[in-house]
Amino acid sequence: MAFLVFSCSLNPGSRSRILAHGALNRLESLGVDAEFIDLQTLALPFCDGRSCYQHPDVIDLKRRVAECEGAIIAVPVYNFDVNSAAKNLIELTGDAWKEKVVAFLCAAGGQTSFMSIMGLANSMMLDFRSVVVPRFVYANEDDVMGEQIVDARTRERLEEVVTTLVRFARALSPLPQDSSP
Ligand SMILES: Cc1cc2nc3c(=O)[nH]c(=O)nc-3n(C[C@H](O)[C@H](O)[C@H](O)COP(=O)(O)O)c2cc1C
């Protein structure tokens, strides 16, 4: 079982993707299996609630989510929400998120959109009983520049979020079948 890191920005100069790479590095330094999934490298269909579920990339993603130990979702903030590619990913993969431990990394233009992740986080808690790490990264344009996370507090926060994700996922992993009450 691996941890998945989703990079949801479709912008080639994405800041949230730099956060996602930072998270991948942190997971690797903790010695856990981790896989990076960049939505820029996939041509996912829009969710139509019907034929999209037959798309081979959607079938593959659903399997990977269902089998993962936990996941990090790195998103751009658009219009005080996550971008539509991130929302589409969740619509396409749906129930595969059931009871998964999930952490969020957000890139935004300024300080005022801090709570923009809550719509997606709440919907995943309600729909799939996902366990959301109650701390997330929120980085603005001064925090991530070029290919670097230049703000020390953002780097610290990223480490804390990733470490907490692994702790939560390991603590909540299902009991082996023969030791269930
Ligand atoms: C369509 C659009 C809407 C945006 N809306 C917001 C917003 O509501 N709040 C905000 O702080 N930044 C907003 N931004 C700025 C982005 O969050 C910022 O550019 C961020 O770096 C995007 O993430 P990315 O670099 O990973 O693509 C918006 C940008 C675009 C293109």
Say if residues 130 and 100 touch (Cβ distance below 8 Å): yes
Residue boundaries of the structural domains of the chain: 3-172
Residue ID of nearest Cα to ligand 1 atom 6: 78
Query: What separation in Å is there between the alpha carbon of 25 and the centre of ligand 1?
Result: 24
For residue 110, what is the DSSP state? S
Question: What CATH number labels 3-172?
Answer: 3.40.50.360
Tens digits of residue pLDDT in 8-20 = 999 999 999 999 9
Say if residues 120 and 81 touch (Cβ distance below 8 Å): yes
Instruction: Retrieve residue 137's tokens.
Output: 């990264």
User: Is the pLDDT assigned to residue 54 strictly greater than 60?
Assistant: yes
**Best mutation site among 14, 77, 82 for ligand 1, i.e. most ligand atoms within 8 A of its Cβ?**
77
* Rg over CA atoms, the chain: 16
Residue range 82-99: average pLDDT? 97
